[in-house]
């Protein structure tokens, strides 16, 4: 009975060509009967070849059949190695289909590649993954799917999979899978699938740059006296130029992303999050589906975790982010520089794949790989492939391993030195900046300031007279930010008791500012109003205070878990920064409200950023004594825990509605409820979270708030590394906070019904 045999090399190393050469040598030795034991070849392959780490030297080796081979690792470990795979993908699919396929992968769609050649499938999958750099593909990745595992294509998760063309009919029935046929250059997008693309200017720039690289003759095609066509780069350099185009596109899209990194722990290891809303608002990308999907993707979270820390070795991407704004400025003055900048970046990518200037195929060292003669596989009488002796293979491996242990050359390599990562240019959006200049004139901001001044000077008629203009001005983010700054400047302490007219006008301004706030709070207006809403208040009667947050609860931003997490992380970063920031040696003067913006900007420019402080602390960490390390860890833990308590209270304040509180107050006895709450609070340290409040049911609204706050506590404490004991204490605290606040709302609702209607101020007309 005929039983075919197959030789396979399984490895985590990315040296496909070398593995193919080794398999060819083993086959040649067997089919030509060269007299070399196969066990020796396999043992040498597994035990003799020391794979150098990224950035290591070139390693030359032989597996014992008279061959000469070399391994050249890339210079930087995170950079993908593509050879000419990206160029092949663009050549097979064209610019339009390739860009569409790239957008599908970046937006986490299901992508299926089809071809008759397994080598094409493997190269195309490698190319698409490389075009994502600096991201890493984080979903199902199978360059060649076996026919017996076709049911994997029914998975609900995104994937990048290659299949043989023999399965083309089966995959055509999939309704949510984008299919690219590499052999005919077609791209099939199902009717119900919508692929988001970058905003118009960025997409056109990407396509134009690809045409500049792949079709340089287009620039002079219509000239009456066309110059000679420019010489085309070799395929391996075109591959790098195409990668440079996509890298620059992602760098343009993510410009200023490091300014939106939020660090919430430095020790024992850095923990960072990304302020998505702040980035989208600063760049004006809130309405760009491609950018929103990208920031929500798994591999963007991986980018933050891998490249977020401010103290680490740098690579080509970090340099590109730092230098791109200046390059774009120069290109706006001289468009001819774009191709030069692309070629410079492509050369860096090429040198990363080939860091050894000597190479592996020069005259000083040429590889020698045995190949069977033509027609060897068609011979009638083939020698039988003998079974390998596992003991002989193990003996060869052990002998070579002992010999290599005495040569610590590779293990003694120096790792790249870490350094502070430059933040790059801040996130800005040219279109949004133009709109702000047009809609936020100095006159409108002055009207806003005058209105606020009139409110606090008790000139209510003047304040109401200017309200229509103020409401129009508050449609712009800059005016809303100015309102928040002005209200914060006028806050002398953590509590400001207003008169009834003042309170109602201030609340109205807050509601106007929050009307344009989405669930993401792109311009951080809602986050800035949070401390103000818990400070501005009015007295209804003895012992009953109504705060501003009770009158601004109807906005959707308060029900967004993402908003609360982002605001929490921003405040934690502020406290972590204050923990390590040196104390000032002198007192600064208090600026006037008109000087406030310039003064604060000057102070912020003089102090290091949170990431710079984190980088310095990460640099010093290995040299600190264990006692100091434990002290810093405990301080950061305490900071996170205290902020979690603070935000749990804030969420209860904004989520428990004042509506219906009066009905609750009428339905139960006030004295009994007050005693119940007092007793439960007194026993909260020793009682269980449930046992203390079994008698008082918070109702559906209260239970929903408890669930949401508990989810928030679990999420932020898990990411911040808060201990399980502190998390348990927080969960026990939340029901008590809800019950106590329900009692407060009942009293406020009861007293607010007794307030007389606010009488309008009668203006006095003067005649001259």
Phi/psi of residue 689, nearest 5 degrees: -65, -30
Contact 383, 34 (CB under 8 A): no
Q: What confidence score (pLDDT) does residue 368 get? A: 87
Rounded to whole angstroms, how far apart are CA atoms 348 and 625? 41
How confident is the model over 167-201, as pLDDT tens digits? 888 888 888 999 999 999 999 999 989 999 998 89
Rounded to whole angstroms, how far apart are CA atoms 96 and 186? 11
Distances (CA, A) of 542 to 207, 539, 545, 674, 742: 69, 7, 8, 16, 18
Q: What confidence score (pLDDT) does residue 382 get? A: 75
Q: What confidence score (pLDDT) does residue 555 get? A: 92
Distances (CA, A) of 358 to 57, 80, 316, 329, 577: 11, 21, 22, 36, 48
Rounded to whole angstroms, how far apart are CA atoms 515 and 508? 11
Task: Count the alpha carbons within 13 Å of 546 in the hemisphere toward its beta carbon.
Answer: 25
Contact 575, 587 (CB under 8 A): no
Q: What confidence score (pLDDT) does residue 366 get? A: 79
Rounded to whole angstroms, how far apart are CA atoms 288 and 203? 12
122 CB neighbour count, 10 Å cutoff: 17
Contact 241, 249 (CB under 8 A): no
* Cα distance from N-terminal residue to C-terminal residue, the chain: 120
> Going by DSSP bridges, is the β-strand pair 361-362/365-366 parallel, antiparallel, or unpaired?
antiparallel
- Helix residue ranges per DSSP H, 406-534: 430-439, 442-456, 460-465, 467-473, 477-489, 500-515, 525-533
Burial of 436 (0-12, 13-18, 19+ CB in 10 A): middle
How many degrees, rounded to 5, is the angle at CA 349 between CA 344 and CA 353? Answer: 140
How many degrees, rounded to 5, is the angle at CA 117 between CA 114 and CA 123? Answer: 80
Q: What confidence score (pLDDT) does residue 242 get? A: 97
Tokens of 569: 């992380």
Tokens of 587: 């007192």
> Going by DSSP bridges, is the β-strand pair 159-164/110-115 parallel, antiparallel, or unpaired?
parallel
Burial of 403 (0-12, 13-18, 19+ CB in 10 A): exposed
Handedness of CA 253, 106, 90, 186 (dihedral sign): negative
Q: What confidence score (pLDDT) does residue 358 get? A: 52
For the entire predicted model, the pTM comes to: 0.86
Q: What confidence score (pLDDT) does residue 362 get? A: 39
Contact 72, 86 (CB under 8 A): no
Which residues of the chain are modeled with pLDDT < 70?
A: 1-3, 357-365, 406-413, 429-441, 583-606, 660-696, 756-768
């Amino acid at each position: 009975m005929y039983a075919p045999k197959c030789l396979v090399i399984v490895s985590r190393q990315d040296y496909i060509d070398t593995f193919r050469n080794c398999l060819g040598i083993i086959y040649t030795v067997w089919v030509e009967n060269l007299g070399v034991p196969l066990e020796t070849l396999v043992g040498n392959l597994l035990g003799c070849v020391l794979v150098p780490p990224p950035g290591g030297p070139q390693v030359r080796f032989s597996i014992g059949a008279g061959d000469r081979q070399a391994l050249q690792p890339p210079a930087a470990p995170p950079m993908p190695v593509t050879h000419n795979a990206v160029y092949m993908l663009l050549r097979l699919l064209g610019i339009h289909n390739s860009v569409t396929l790239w957008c599908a992968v970046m937006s986490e769609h299901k992508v299926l590649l089809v071809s008759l050649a397994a080598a094409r499938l493997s190269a195309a999958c490698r190319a698409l993954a490389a075009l994502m750099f600096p991201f890493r593909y984080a979903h199902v990745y199978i360059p060649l799917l076996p026919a017996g595992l076709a049911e994997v294509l029914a998975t609900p998760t995104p994937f990048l999979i290659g299949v043989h063309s023999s399965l083309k009919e089966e995959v055509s029935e999939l309704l949510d899978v984008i299919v690219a046929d590499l052999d005919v250059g077609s791209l099939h997008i199902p009717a119900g699938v919508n692929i988001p693309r970058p905003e118009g200017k960025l997409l056109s720039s990407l396509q134009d740059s690809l045409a500049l690289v792949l079709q340089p003759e287009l620039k002079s095609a219509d000239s009456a006296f066309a110059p000679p066509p420019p010489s085309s780069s070799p395929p391996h350099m075109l591959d790098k130029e195409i990668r440079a185009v996509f890298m620059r596109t992602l760098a343009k899209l993510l410009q200023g992303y490091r300014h939106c990194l939020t660090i919430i722990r430095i020790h024992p290891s850095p923990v960072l999050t990304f302020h998505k809303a702040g980035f989208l608002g600063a760049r004006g990308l809130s309405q760009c589906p491609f950018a929103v999907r990208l920031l929500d993707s798994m591999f963007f979270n991986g980018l933050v975790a891998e490249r977020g820390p401010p103290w680490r070795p740098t690579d080509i991407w970090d340099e590109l982010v730092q230098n791109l704004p200046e390059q774009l400025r120069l290109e706006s003055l001289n468009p001819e520089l774009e191709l030069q900048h692309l070629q410079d970046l492509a050369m860096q990518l090429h040198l990363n794949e080939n860091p050894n200037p000597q190479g592996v195929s020069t005259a000083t060292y040429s590889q020698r790989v045995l190949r069977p003669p033509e027609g060897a596989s068609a011979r009638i009488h083939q020698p039988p492939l003998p079974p390998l002796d596992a003991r002989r293979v193990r003996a060869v491996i052990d002998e070579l391993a002992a010999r290599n242990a005495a040569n610590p050359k590779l293990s003694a390599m120096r790792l790249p030195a870490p350094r502070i990562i430059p933040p790059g240019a801040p996130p800005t959006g040219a279109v949004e900046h133009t709109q702000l200049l047009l809609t936020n004139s100095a006159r409108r901001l002055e009207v806003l300031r005058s209105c606020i001044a009139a409110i606090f000077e008790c000139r209510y008629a003047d304040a109401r007279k200017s309200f229509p203009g103020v409401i129009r001005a508050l449609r712009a983010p800059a005016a809303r930010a100015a309102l928040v700054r002005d209200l914060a400047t006028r806050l002398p302490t953590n509590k400001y008791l207003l008169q009834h007219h003042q309170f109602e006008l201030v609340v109205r301004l807050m509601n106007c500012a929050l009307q344009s706030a989405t669930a993401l709070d792109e311009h951080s207006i809602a986050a800035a109003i949070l401390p103000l809403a818990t400070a501005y208040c009015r007295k209804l009667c003895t012992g009953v205070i109504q705060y501003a947050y009770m009158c601004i609860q109807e906005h959707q931003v308060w029900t967004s878990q993402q908003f609360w997490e982002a605001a929490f992380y921003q405040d934690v970063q502020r406290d972590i920064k204050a923990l390590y920031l040196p104390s000032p040696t002198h007192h600064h003067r208090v600026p006037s409200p008109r000087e406030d913006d310039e003064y604060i900007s000057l102070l912020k420019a003089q102090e290091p950023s949170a990431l710079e402080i984190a980088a310095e602390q990460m640099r010093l960490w290995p040299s600190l004594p264990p006692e100091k390390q434990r002290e810093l860890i405990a301080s950061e833990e305490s900071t996170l825990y205290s902020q979690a308590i603070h935000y749990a209270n804030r969420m209860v304040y904004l989520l428990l509605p004042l509506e219906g509180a009066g009905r609750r107050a009428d339905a139960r006895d006030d004295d009994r409820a007050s005693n119940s709450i007092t007793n439960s609070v007194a026993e909260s340290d020793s009682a269980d979270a449930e046992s203390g409040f079994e008698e008082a049911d918070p109702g559906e609204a209260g239970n929903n708030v408890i669930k949401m706050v508990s989810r928030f506590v679990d999420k932020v404490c898990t990411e911040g590394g808060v201990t399980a004991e502190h998390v348990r204490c927080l969960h026990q605290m939340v029901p008590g906070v809800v019950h106590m606040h329900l009692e407060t709302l009942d009293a406020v609702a009861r007293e607010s019904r007794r307030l007389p209607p606010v009488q309008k101020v009668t203006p006095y007309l003067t005649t001259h």
